[in-house]
Amino acid sequence: MNAPPPTSGPRWLYLHGFASGPASAKGVWLDAHWAKQGIPLERLNLRVPSLEHLGLHAMLDTVRDALGAPNDRAVVIGSSLGGLVAARTAEQDSRVSALVLLAPAFHFVEQLQRRMGPHAWAEWKRTGFLETDDHAEKRRARVHHGIVEEAQAMDAKRGFWPDVRVPTLVIHGRKDDTCDVRYSREWAQGKRHVRLVEVDDGHELTASLELIAREADAFLTPWRGVEQPRQVFTGG
């Protein structure tokens, strides 16, 4: 006997970025925005198994667990590294119905290496740990090099570009010096199911929250309250 169809709309999940947390400014703001419309936003904790031993596969497992039962559906909103995790989830899990990616960290390793420079990059690999700002707990913290090795292995296996076939909205700042907007441009080019919106903002997109809300509200209209069939695009 087939499982009964879901009786309500898809769950909405928010994935924060690197060294951030569920209480990130964008996540909290969007949570409050959608709560006024009766849409609960579940802000996942991707500091797994811990910030110090941050693991890409552990993040993906966390998202998959949050997607629900086999017949459930979800809209996934991801910021920075959370955007990459959202896209990697969608390329392999049919429960993801739509994506909103905010300054997604495509080519994560390459961009991280560019920002750090050759000396700091070599030191991270040599010592095993990177010292960074913990934006969630407002302190300095360490992150193990294993996340780089996981990302490199995943890129080698799946390719640098997530193969996403569901409707996707990308919002990216032209002044972003953390995740270069050119990667979002390259990824979106020629994809009829992807809408790229560029804004005059930096990586945090703090000046663009109202615009993000307007764009996401319009884009996600089909997934408000009533479950829609999963749209899969095979061309473009």
Per-residue model confidence (pLDDT) at position 5: 40
Q: Which residues of 191-209 are buried (b: 16+ CB within 10 A; e: fewer)?
A: bebbbbbebebbbbbeebb
Answer for the pair 90, 28: CB distance below 8 angstroms, yes or no. Answer: no
Segment 108-163, tens digit of pLDDT: 999 999 999 999 999 999 999 999 999 999 999 999 999 999 999 999 999 999 99
Q: How does DSSP classify residue 66?
A: H
Per-residue model confidence (pLDDT) at position 9: 85
Using DSSP's 3-state secondary structure scheme, residue 197 falls into strand
Cα distances (angstroms) measured from residue 157 to each of 107, 150, 161: 14, 11, 11
> Which of 2-11, 83-92, 202-211 has the weakest average pLDDT?
2-11
Q: What are phi and psi of 79, to 5 degrees?
A: -110, 130
Q: What is the mean pLDDT of residues 154-173?
A: 97
List of E strands, the chain:
11-15, 41-44, 74-79, 96-102, 129-134, 139-144, 168-173, 194-199
Q: What are phi and psi of 154, to 5 degrees?
A: -70, -40
Which CATH architecture group holds 11-222? Answer: 3-Layer(aba) Sandwich (3.40)
Is it the case that residue 56 has pLDDT exceeding 60? yes
Segment 175-233, tens digit of pLDDT: 999 999 999 999 999 999 999 999 999 999 999 999 999 999 999 999 986 444 444 44
Q: Rounded CA gap, 70 and 36, in Å? A: 29
The residues spanned by each domain of the chain are 11-222
Answer for the pair 106, 161: CB distance below 8 angstroms, yes or no. Answer: yes
Per-residue model confidence (pLDDT) at position 225: 67
Cα distances (angstroms) measured from residue 20 to each of 82, 99, 171, 189, 214: 10, 20, 19, 29, 24
Mutual orientation of helices 209-219 and 25-35 as an angle, nearest 10°?
50
Q: Rounded CA gap, 55 and 61, in Å? A: 10
Is it the case that residue 107 has pLDDT exceeding 90? yes
pTM exceeds 0.85 for this model:
yes
Q: What is the residue-averaged pLDDT of the chain?
A: 93
Q: Name residue, tokens 């290496």.
A: 113
Answer for the pair 112, 84: CB distance below 8 angstroms, yes or no. Answer: no
Answer for the pair 89, 62: CB distance below 8 angstroms, yes or no. Answer: no
Q: Rounded CA gap, 155 and 29, in Å? A: 32
Is it the case that residue 71 has pLDDT exceeding 70? yes
Is it the case that residue 6 has pLDDT exceeding 50? no
